[in-house]
Structure 1
Amino acid sequence: MENLVNRLEKKGWKNKEIINTVNFIRNAKHNKTQENLFLEKRVYWILLVVVIAANFAISVALIPVLMALKGMFLYFVIITLGIAFGLLFELVIRSIEHLEKQHHQLLAILIPLIALANAFAISKISNNLGLTLGFANVHNPISIAAVYAASFVLPYIVYRFILKIEYYAKG
């Protein structure tokens, strides 16, 4: 709540308006249904599973791209996809209001590592499949994985460290 109060003060809200808003939010938190509380406590872990599955699906979808493209155009496509899905992930994370600092820190470390591992594995699979089918289009799995993971985490870095937007609850 302290973060909210500071933001409202910066926007020029009057003290009475801030107190009423904070009281309204506190009352809403205390009057939640059991179903709502159940989901709220699990939304973080559900989100984590969904993001891991989505990262894997994105990696699998890259197989034809890896087999067909090479050079700078391949890296352009990988960077574009990484930034697009990283931005989508960033927007989802920002929309979950009750996540605290430690949740964001874990996600900031875990999700890029998973993206890195997925992209590496899929790149290896693509290389093996391409060789089996007679394609001579082999890529370095480490560079493919590093480029994808770096571009995936780029929106988070921009929001958190360059724009310095703190959207997590203080805790």
Structure 2
Amino acid sequence: MNKLLLLVKDEEGMTLVELLAVIVILSIVAGIGGVAIAGVIQRSREDGRVADVQMLYEAATLAEASDSFISKGGSGTGATPGTKVTAKTLYDSGYATSVAFLKNKAGADTSDKASFLLVGTTGANKLQLSIEKDSFLAGSKPNAEMKDMDAGKVKVLTRATVFPDTKSEPEGS
């Protein structure tokens, strides 16, 4: 028993090998955690952009409901039927609080690439949203084209529909 106590008593620190083993283990754990956190951050960016698009649609709906802004072509007077109103016009008129997310990879403003159109249907008017492809980003991932989306389609938007995976499939499949 005395020999065991002497062995334990003589150790004053860690050897270089033990220290290196701890550093390697911590590096592996940090690497795995970094990759996992990067995925979470990207998914939250995509979810944020989906919410931005939905809020922009709601702003257009409120603008139309309050004073027929869309059906007037985005002006105070009557406009040609079928006139599109852009997100930029909604923002400039004070209906949309922000269109800052509408920027392409070069950082250029693309708020004129998102447009609203009031379409007559049987018994009611229907507001449609169209946003061109690559009009905004979530991180470095560009959006897909969204064309003629009504309220039902806008409400069920997901990350997968706005930012589909662009991994190319092998030829012949």
Q: Which bracket does the TM-score occupy, shorter chain normalised? A: 0.3 to 0.5
Specify the structure having the higher radius of gyration (Cα). Answer: 2
Of structures 1 and 2, the one scoring higher in RCO (CA 8 A, sep 6+) is: 1
TM-score by length of 2: 0.32
TM-score by length of 1: 0.33
